[in-house]
Structure 1
Amino acid sequence: MNEVHVTSDMPLRAPVAIAVGAGFKREIASLGAMQNFLKEWPEAMRGDCHAAAMQACEAAWAGGIKLGAARQAFLAFAEKAGILWTGVDPVTALREAKIRRGRIRRAGQQQSRRQWPLA
């Protein structure tokens, strides 16, 4: 597939932060960057939100909608795709979840021992 990437720039008032890779953040700061990111998104993972975001970007380029509306469509896509940056490092979040599960498991084992003594 031979897609042309947008090189001109229409900066966003506030960049959209997305998670890429293992705990890395990428900021999308312009209409061109949003459209390029959407074009690079794997075809097998595209859906209605992706299509809506692409259409919104194209409409913003044509002046049919405001840039903020295209940004909102991109935010909706990022949220649905699970890549919207939450500010939490995924590696740290997974480590903390594992610690919590271990504590819950140990507490459950201690509780079951109290209820059922083996005499």
Structure 2
Amino acid sequence: MREGSIRSDIELQAPVAIAVGAGFKREITSLTAMQNFLKEWPPATQDESYITALRSCEAARAGEIDLDKARQAFLVFAKKAGIEWTGADPVVKLREAKIRRSRARESRTQNRHVPG
């Protein structure tokens, strides 16, 4: 890649999955999608990893770094921001935890009433 040449949108070889909303998965599939997501990130939570990810996207667009380096910077940002997709659906996890608590309460209640 020639240094200083501006690149149009580039598809990522492997999309970046992030968690948005109430356990919904969003796949970031291109350089433009990464940049747009970062530009919409709340200013109050823009930390060093955010700045690195945004600058990396800009450098990839300019052809100064490989797209994979920008993707890696975005992944670091996502992890630090707590939005990295882990594959675990939070709604399902909360439901499972509620069921476990309910069963534990039932078990304790039954054990108290067992004649001894």
TM-score range, shorter chain: 0.7 to 0.9
SS in 1 for 2:84: coil
- Work out the percentage of aligned pairs sharing the same amino acid: 67
Equivalent in the alignment of 2:58 = 58
CA distance change for structure 1 residues 108 and 48 in 2, over 3 Å: closer, same or farther?
A: farther
TM superposition score normalised by structure 2 = 0.79
Distance 2:42 2:52 in 1: 16
How far is 1:61 from its partner? 1.1
Distance 2:53 2:13 in 1: 17
Q: Which has the higher contact order (CA 8 A, sep 6+)?
A: 2
How far is 1:97 from its partner? 2.0
SS in 1 for 2:87: coil
Equivalent in the alignment of 2:28 = 28
Equivalent in the alignment of 2:67 = 67
TM superposition score normalised by structure 1 = 0.78
Q: Which runs of 5+ in 2 are unaligned?
A: 1-7
How far is 1:100 from its partner? 2.9
Equivalent in the alignment of 2:90 = 90
Distance 2:17 2:50 in 1: 17
- Please provide the CA RMSD for this pair: 2.2
SS in 1 for 2:99: helix
Distance 1:110 1:44 in 2: 50
CA distance change for structure 1 residues 80 and 106 in 2, over 3 Å: closer, same or farther?
A: farther
User: Within the alignment, does 1:12 sit opposite 2:19 as a pair?
Assistant: no
